[in-house]
Structure 1
Amino acid sequence: MQGLQEAVDYNEGKIKARTKTISIEPVPDFEAKEIKDIRNGLGMTQVLFAGFMGVSIKTVEAWEAGRNMPDGPARRILAMLQADPNLPQRLHIVAE
């Protein structure tokens, strides 16, 4: 009910919309060697890394050979892994 009342009040000009300013870091590009270095830093084989990233083994092979490059979401995950190699364990995605 409160949310509905706020919507009505906003529509009638009684209140202003709440806004928040945020900045988002651009999604970086990765070279083939960087991808391999990230994977090796995690101590994962291409098979394990593919499973973690949700892609095929052929995709990881192509990334590391420079034939293909990761798309936006994969690049964001790679950047997060580069910044925090312990991320998979902290998020309980990988258990040793």
Structure 2
Amino acid sequence: MSVYEGIMNGLQEAIDYNKGKIEARSNVLSIDPVPKFEADDIKSIRTGLGMTQYIFAGAMGVSQKTVEAWEAGRNVPNGPASRMLSMLKSDPDLLEKYHIVTK
């Protein structure tokens, strides 16, 4: 299907929905907002994992200076780093499950 055909199909679906000819798709996803973390929260997650700043930085894919700045409150994680921190807070074994770290 070409881009044009895809757009035309989408427009036709919108028209059909508006006229009541079809139902709305029911597989709508809900996405939790990206959480914000304070310096103490980040340090707590890291120490709970038993990691140095150096090891934690490697696991997170950032520099040690970045982790230092987060924990000192000079900078804050955002986007993917915040999402990963949230996941680590919920599941401390996540890094092992996905073979990011091994013991």
Percent identity, aligned pairs only, is 58
Runs of 4 or more off by more than 2 Å in structure 1? none
Contact 2:37-2:76 within 8 A present in 1 as well: yes
CA–CA separation in structure 2 for the residues paired with 1:55 and 1:91 = 18
Per-residue Cα deviation, 1:22-71 (whole angstroms, up to 9, x for no partner)? 00010010010000000011111000001011111111000001010012
How far apart in 1 are the matches of 2:66 and 2:102?
A: 23
Report the equivalent of 1:85. 92
Question: Unmatched 5+ residue regions in structure 2?
Answer: 14-21
**For the residues of structure 1 that align with 2:89 and 2:81, how far apart are their CA atoms?**
12
Mark the runs of 5 or more structure 1 residues left unpaired by the alignment. none
Residue 54 of structure 1 is aligned with which of 50, 55, 61?
Answer: 61
Could you say which structure has the greater relative contact order, defined with CA pairs below 8 angstroms and 6 or more residues apart? Answer: 1
Q: Structure 2 length as normaliser, TM-score?
A: 0.76
Where does residue 63 of structure 1 map in the other structure?
A: 70
